[in-house]
Copies of this chain bind each other. A is one copy, B any other.
């Protein structure tokens, strides 16, 4: 199927493809090849099991060297999405929660609209063995899933990336674009969203909100889902952090559950935000 024309300019840009703990170098290479075919170029890897760079990945990429050479490795999902404004999570399984579910065609149209408005976007793909965890899905704004045969649903990550990349390319054609009211507000980057969620988590922790402790991960997923779906802008997040700071103002006399004498110092530390920035109450 080769038909490369080396005189044509390479198409780049578009959403980042983010692979969470990919296992096989061959799959990473096939992902790069799929991306290059449809004009995507930004590959992010979170803890690739077999290390990076990978000769197996390069071989399987079939000369998509610009994607392989440009791939960036991260330790955590939070770091990998810190600069992005909007994220899709791909999943084959239905999840609890509050997130809209899109097919690849509609998801690509929405990504294209956001991309054209100057937003930075990304798509998460999970591990070969078991996909994305609920906690990872909770980090995304919306879910994308594929219209597969229910009796045989077995897309690997390279196939899933191929389909999303293909729909991304198609979404750029005038003929296939339908008039679509895009958001007139740009969601804050995930760094700011996560700073706010971390801030709130600390304040709630100090009050014994997360009880019983075993339920904390699920409660935190729900909290994250509720605060992610609105796609708050940076201005909105500043206002909300001012509110959290204000609510968090009084020191506890008797925290719920067991007392914690070290809590005051912790709150003072947290009041300045997890990501280091000082929270200014700019709305006042």
Chain A interface (Cβ within 8 Å of chain B)?
Answer: 1-6, 8-11, 33-34, 36-39, 62-64, 90-94, 97-103, 105-106, 126, 131, 142-143, 145-157, 159-160, 162-163, 166, 169-170, 173, 176-183, 185, 200, 203-204, 207-209, 211, 215, 219, 222-223, 226, 229-230, 232-233, 235-236, 239-240, 242-244, 246-253, 255-256, 283-284
Contact A8 B230 (CB under 8 A): no
Closest to A205 in B: B246
Q: How far is the CA of A253 from the CA of B69 in the complex (A)?
A: 58
Q: A142-B182, A204-B243, A222-B239 are in contact. List 10 more A-B contacts (CB 8 A).
A: A3-B93, A9-B151, A36-B149, A37-B148, A62-B156, A101-B178, A149-B169, A166-B166, A185-B229, A223-B239
Q: Which of B162, B183, B249 contacts A97 (CB 8 A)?
A: B183
Residues of chain B within 8 A (CB-CB) of A230 are 229-230, 232
Q: How far is the CA of A181 from the CA of B148 in the complex (A)?
A: 14
Q: How far is the CA of A1 from the CA of B127 in the complex (A)?
A: 8
Q: Which of A155, A163, A183 has the most CB of B within 10 A?
A: A155
* A/B interface sample: 24 pairs, CB < 8 A: A1-B91, A1-B92, A1-B154, A2-B153, A3-B153, A4-B150, A10-B152, A11-B151, A37-B149, A39-B149, A63-B152, A63-B154, A103-B176, A103-B178, A145-B179, A145-B180, A147-B176, A147-B178, A153-B179, A159-B159, A226-B236, A226-B239, A250-B250, A250-B255
